[in-house]
Amino acid sequence: MKPKRYLVFQYEDYYPSGGWGDLQGSFDTLEEARAFAQENRHDNTDIIDLETGEDLGTLGLGQG
C-alpha cells in the first residue's frame, strides 16, 4: 500500500498532544488536505508534504 502524500497535523494552543498524537489525517492531494483542515478547525494546522519533506504550514487557513 502506497502512503498518502500529505499529512495534516492539528492541535490547540492550550493542549497539544505532540508529534504523531496531533496527526488528524493523510491525503492524496493538497486540495483534500486543505479541505479537511478547513472543515476541522483547530488553533494550529500544519500540512506536511511527504514527497518533498516540506512543512506547508497553514496555507492561508487564517491561522498564525
How many domains does the chain divide into? 1
Model confidence band, residue 57 (pLDDT cutoffs 50, 70, 90) = confident
Q: What is the mean pLDDT of residues 20-43?
A: 93
Please, which residues have CB within 8 angstroms of residue 61's CB and are 6 or more apart in sequence? 34, 37, 38, 45
Residue 34 pLDDT exceeds 90: yes
The per-residue pLDDT for 30 is 95
State how far the alpha carbon of 12 is from the alpha carbons of 3, 15, 44, 52, in Å. Answer: 26, 6, 6, 26
Domain that holds residue 32: 1-64
The pLDDT of 28-53, averaged and rounded, is: 93
